[in-house]
Amino acid sequence: MITGKEDLLQSLIEAFLMEKGTNIFYSQAAEKASNPEARKMFRDLTVWEEKHMAFIQFLYQSIQGDLDVEGFEAFQAKTDAPMTEAGIPVKDLEARIEQFTFVDDLGAYQIALDIEAKAYNLYRRLSEGAADSNARVVFKEMMGQEQKHIEYLKQTRGKIA
User: Domains in the chain, start-ordered, CATH in brackets?
Assistant: 8-160 (1.20.1260.10)
Question: Where residue 150 falls among pLDDT bands split at 50, 70, 90?
Answer: very high
Q: State which H helix or E strand residue 119 sits in.
A: helix 105-129
Coil vs helix vs strand at 5:
coil
Cα–Cα distance for residue pair 32/10, rounded to 1 Å: 34
Cα–Cα distance for residue pair 142/155, rounded to 1 Å: 20
Question: In the predicted model, what is the mean pLDDT of residues 14-28?
Answer: 85
DSSP-derived secondary structure for 19-46: HHHHHHHHHHHHHH--SHHHHHHHHHHH
Coil vs helix vs strand at 89:
strand
Average pLDDT, the chain: 79
Question: Where residue 20 falls among pLDDT bands split at 50, 70, 90?
Answer: confident
Question: Where residue 96 falls among pLDDT bands split at 50, 70, 90?
Answer: low
Is the pLDDT higher at 84 or at 139?
Answer: 139
